[in-house]
Chain A
Amino acid sequence: MKILLLEDEYSLRISIVEFLMKKTIMISLLVSTSLFAADYSSVIEKPNASELIQKDLLPPAKVFTMPSNCVTNDKDSIARGAFIFHNLNGGKVKGKLPKGLAKKNANGKSKQYGNCVACHNIEGAVGAGNIGPDLTGYKAIFVDSGVRDNQFVYQKIADPRVENANTHMTVNLTTKLFNEQEICDMTSYIVSER
C-alpha cells in the first residue's frame, strides 16, 4: 500500500512538473508572440487633431442689435466697408488702405478682410462669385422698397445663421473676425447710394 502510494505520489509529482513546464513554455510562447507579433501602431504618424478642432469651433448663432450711429454716409466708413468687401487679407493688398484700416493685426499677422465678393456680385466687382445674392442696386431694390432694413443687413453680416440656420454665408461678428465698427462699415457700404 505504502509503496503504491509513493509510486502514485511520484507519478503525480512528475505530471505536475510536466504540467508546469508545459505551462511555462506555453506562457513564454505567448509572451514571445505578443512581443514579436507585428505592431506598427507606434511607428506611424497619428497626431491629435481633436483639441485643435475643439478650440476652433463656431459658437452658437447670436442675435446682434445694430449700435446707434452705425449706418452712416461717412466716406471713410463706406470706403472701409468697400475695401473689406472686395479684399481677402492684408497680405494680398498693395498700395494704400482706407483711413482706419490696417494691413496687419496687433499680433503682426496679416489682417483678414471679408472677401464678400467671392460669393456676391456688387457694383464694380471683379471676379465675383454667385453663391450669395447679387447685391447690386441694393438700396433701391431692397431698402427703399421696404423689403430689408439696416438692422437686417447688420445681422446678416454679423451672424447670418439667425435668419437662415443652414446658410452658406460666413459668420463675421460671432467669430470675432471683425469688430462692431467694421460690421457697420460693411453695412454702410451695402446700403449706400453707389
Chain B
Amino acid sequence: MKTGIKIALSITLLSSLSFAGEQFAMSDSDRAMYTDMLENNPADLMISNGEELLEEYCGGDAGVAAFFNISEDDLPAYIAGFPRYLKEFKQVVTVSQALQGLMSKNTHKPFKLKSSDMFDMSAYVKTLANGEKSNIDVNADKYIKEAFVLGEKTYMTARGGRGLSCNSCHSADIVGAVLRTQPLPDLTSKGVAVAATWPAYRMTKSSLRTLPRRFQGCMKNALLKVIPLGSPEMVALEVYLTHEAKGTEVAIPGLKR
C-alpha cells in the first residue's frame, strides 16, 4: 500500500486527467496498480468481515429482512432507499443506525457508529443493493422532507476558522478546479453518483470509509468543527447528497484516492 498511498488518483481524478494535464500524469506502473485495485478492491476483505459480523449479530441477510418486515427478495431495493424514516426509530435513520437497532433487538450491545466493525458491517449490508438504482424518496414523509432541508442548510452553512461551507469547494461553478493538486469533485449535479459509491476504500487512508466519515474528513481539513456521526445534521447531509445520486447505480465498495 505504500506506493498506493502516494499515487494521487481517484475516479474523479482519472476522469479529469484529460483536461488537468501534465500535473496529474501518472506513471504506467501507477496506472497499472490503480487498474488492478479497481478489479481487486482491498475493501472486499473488510466487507467479508462485515458479512460475518452480520451473521453473528443480526442473523444475516434473512435477519435484516425480517427486521424490516420485508422479504429477502425486496431487500436490495429497500437498502438502496436509505436513509429513510422508520417509525420504530421515530426518526430518519441510516443503515448503520438501523443495524444498531437490530443488534439491540438481538440483545447485543450495538457497535459504535465510528467503529470499524460498524463500517464493515454496514458496508456489507449496502453491497446488497449493488446493481440497484439508488432510490431514496425525500418526499416520502414529513420527517425525510425535514431532513433534506436540514441537509441542504448544513451543506451551505459557512463556519469554522476559515469561514468555509461544503458549497465553498463543491459548488457547480468550481467543479474540476484544482485545490492544492486535487480536482474538486462534483457532488451536487443531478445524477452525480458519488453517494452511491460509498462506503469506499480510501487509498490515502488504507481503509474502508463511509460517506459520513468522508464528510468528517472534509470538515477537519477545512477547519469546520467536526460534527459527530449519527447527529441529525450528519444524517441530513447524507440524505441531501444521496438524493443527488438518486437513479444512479449503487456500486459498493468504491475506490477513492
Contact = CB atoms under 8 A, between A and B. Distances in A.
Contacts, number: 117
Given A40-B88, A43-B110, A56-B225, A171 B97 contact: no
Contacts of B174: 131, 168
Interface stretch (B57-65, B197-205, B231-239): B231-239
Interface of B is mostly: loop
Interface residues of B, number: 44
Contacts of A170: 162-164
B179 A118 contact: yes
Nearest to A47: B228
Nearest to B173: A168
B247 interface: no
Contacts of A129: 177-182
A57 B105 contact: no
Contacts of A45: 97, 100, 110, 112-113, 228-230
Contact of B91 (A41, A119, A171): A41
Nearest to A57: B159
Contacts of B224: 56
B90 A56 contact: no
Nearest to A37: B88
Contacts of B93: 44
A127 interface: yes
Kindly list the 4 A-B residue pairs having the minimum CB-CB distance in the complex, ordered from nearest: A171-B163, A40-B101, A49-B231, A118-B180
Interface of A: 37-41, 43-50, 52-53, 55-58, 112, 115, 117-119, 127-131, 168, 170-172, 174-175, 177
Interface of B: 88-91, 93, 97, 100-101, 104-105, 110, 112-113, 154, 157-164, 168-169, 171, 174, 177-182, 184, 223-225, 227-234
